[in-house]
Amino acid sequence: MKLVMVLMLTALPLYCYAGIGCDIIENLMDMTIDPDVDVAEYMDKIQGFLPDEETKKDIMFMKQCFFQQSRETLEDVSEMKQAILGSSWCDQY
């Protein structure tokens, strides 16, 4: 799980650099990290980003993994996300 999280957060500056938009990515990450957003609500909000059923299953699994983390871990992930999104890669967008 931690490897998936690190890889996902590492890819954020590349999305920003490509001009896709940090706001969309930041909102998705906030929903993913937020333990108050349940899986059904999460899946409804990101439906447009899911190309197939296999991806949908993987995203549901990932959200479930975040539910199993402590509040402290989720706060650390949020801090790391802010550091990445506040980097010079995303400042341009």
Do the domain assignments include residue 10? yes
Q: Fill in the DSSP letter of residue 19.
A: T
Q: Half-sphere exposure of residue 61, counting CA atoms within 13 Å on the CB side?
A: 9
- Give residue 10's pLDDT: 66
30: containing domain: 2-86
Do the domain assignments include residue 92? no
pLDDT digits (tens, 9 = 90+) for 13-67: 665 555 555 677 778 888 988 989 988 999 998 888 888 999 899 889 989 888 8
User: Alpha carbon of 87 to those of 10, 23, 29, 78, 90: distances in Å?
Assistant: 12, 14, 16, 14, 6
- Give residue 87's pLDDT: 75
Do the domain assignments include residue 91? no
- Verdict on whether the full-model pTM lies above 0.75: no
> Count of domains in the chain?
1
